[in-house]
Chains A and B, each alone.
Chain A
Amino acid sequence: MGMQHRTIRIVTALCVGLLAAFATSCTDPVKDRAIERLGPEQGGVSEGPEHRPGQPCVLCHSDGGPASNHKFALAGTIFETAKGDKGAANVGVYFIDSAGDDRHIVFTNGVGNFYVPESDWPELTFPLKTAIKREGGVPVSMQSTINREGSCNFCHQLPGGDPRESIGPIFAPGGGT
């Protein structure tokens, strides 16, 4: 009887161990490869609000990403011009979701990055409408809705991407050509 109990305990322990190993090995290979393609930190800027302008922020700042401890609902970068080489600071980014009553406004930092932490908008309901406005300027609305992607730069890629699949960087009117 004692032998039988010991065998059951060993088998149970093995099963639990295997399950734990299996659970931790479950990752999203598509997401992993997309993150890998972003490469290392650039220009000597370390991790923080001003790193990686122009990249799809929510890819890492979401469940399963390396920055999942700082999850973003929405994030992106606004540039001075369509060239996407200089970030536009202090541009207001306005969002309104399809629930209708919930509006969010954030402002770009020194490199043009902006983000809405997931904890600030837990009830966000896609699709969203959005607009940007430079201080003293006129608001410019996006011509389509944001339907499910929290990374603005997913669609608004930096020059060099496939022009059929990218609408180009977001830039604030008044920043030159």
Chain B
Amino acid sequence: MRAALAVWFLACLLLVGSACSSIDANHVSQIAFPNRDEFKTAVSPFMEKRCGALDCHGQIGRPLRLYSQFGLRMKAGPNGTRDTSPTTDAELTENYFAVIGIEPEDISDSLLSQGAYNDFLLLKKPLSIEGGGVRHKGGPVLRGGDTGFDCLYSWISGKVNAANCADGAKL
């Protein structure tokens, strides 16, 4: 009985050991990111209005943290007051990194395939589950045919539709 147990234990150890492969320290992943300037001028203003409120992604503790003049600010204004100036370039840059940093490889694949690949969180989170999305704590906030959705999709596909971004930002 003991011998059988020992053999079984060794077999398990071997199985676990063989599952651990080494990491290639020299491997470099090649990724492409959608245009930063287009994000700053077209996409961020849309996301600031529709996603970046203080009760949503405009909070320090939330994933996909977004800064904006309407929500979370990076710095306080003069004398510790609220900074009411337009969203700063530093904030826009942080927003860009927050968005591309969610699933960088997927966003890269989408850009390189000009939008043919679209199975990733940035495009699925805003949609309803019935509409092809995934669970989102804030519920469905966009629909597939919305100008706002097209704003995100067109930017990631490499040809941003600035007019749709502007329309999507309207409340």
- Structural contact, B171 and A165, CB atoms closer than 8 A: no
Encode B24-59 as 1/0 by CB contact (under 8 A) with A.
000000000000000000000000111011111001
Among the listed stretches A39-47, A102-110, A140-148, which one makes contact with chain B, having 4 or more residues with CB under 8 Å of it? A140-148
- Structural contact, B54 and A163, CB atoms closer than 8 A: no
- Give residues 115-129 of A contacting B (CB, 8 Å): 125-127, 129
Among the listed stretches B9-17, B134-142, B156-164, which one makes contact with chain A, having 4 or more residues with CB under 8 Å of it? B134-142
Tier of interface size on chain B = 20 to 34
- Structural contact, A155 and B82, CB atoms closer than 8 A: no
Name the residue of chain A whose CB is nearest to the CB of B137: A148
Contacts across chains A and B counted by CB atoms under 8 Å: 67
- Structural contact, B81 and A147, CB atoms closer than 8 A: no
Report the minimum CB–CB distance from A119 to chain B (whole Å). Answer: 21
Knowing A126-B139, A148-B55 touch, does A163 contact B73 (C-beta < 8 A)? yes
Question: Which of B72, B75, B82, B171 contacts A143 (CB under 8 A)?
Answer: B171
Cα distance A164–B53 in the bound complex, in angstroms: 12
Chain B residues near A127: list those with CB within 8 A.
Answer: 138-139, 141
Name the residue of chain B whose CB is nearest to the CB of A168: B82
User: Besides A155-B53, A163-B81, A165-B60, 18 other CB < 8 A contacts?
Assistant: A127-B138, A127-B139, A144-B48, A144-B53, A144-B71, A145-B49, A145-B53, A145-B171, A146-B55, A147-B53, A147-B141, A154-B54, A163-B83, A164-B72, A164-B74, A164-B76, A165-B54, A167-B54
Residues of A within 8 A of B (CB): 125-127, 129, 141, 143-149, 154-155, 162-168
Residues of B within 8 A of A (CB): 48-50, 52-56, 59-60, 70-77, 80-83, 137-139, 141, 171
